[in-house]
Amino acid sequence: MKDWLRKNKKSMLLILTGVLGMAGATIGVSEELQQQIVNMVDQLLSSLRP
């Protein structure tokens, strides 16, 4: 699973950004909060070790 996540990091971040965009429009999640969430997930995926 870690290998798959590491190889597909950009795709996962794009999907997350889209989901957060829809959630932001639906329930009012601010753009700043969306960016913070994407940054946290990016850091988590970057810290995965083989």
pTM over 0.75: no
Residue 44: predicted pLDDT: 84
Alpha carbons within 13 A on the beta-carbon side of 22? 5
Q: Are 30 and 24 in contact (CB under 8 A)?
A: yes
Q: For 1-38, what is each residue's pLDDT tens digit?
A: 778 877 888 898 888 888 888 888 888 778 888 888 88
- Report the pLDDT value the prediction gives residue 37, as an integer from 0 to 100: 87
Q: Tell me 8's DSSP state.
A: T
Helices of type H across 1-50: 2-7, 9-27, 31-46
Instruction: Give the number of residues written for the chain.
Output: 50
Tokens of 50: 């083989």
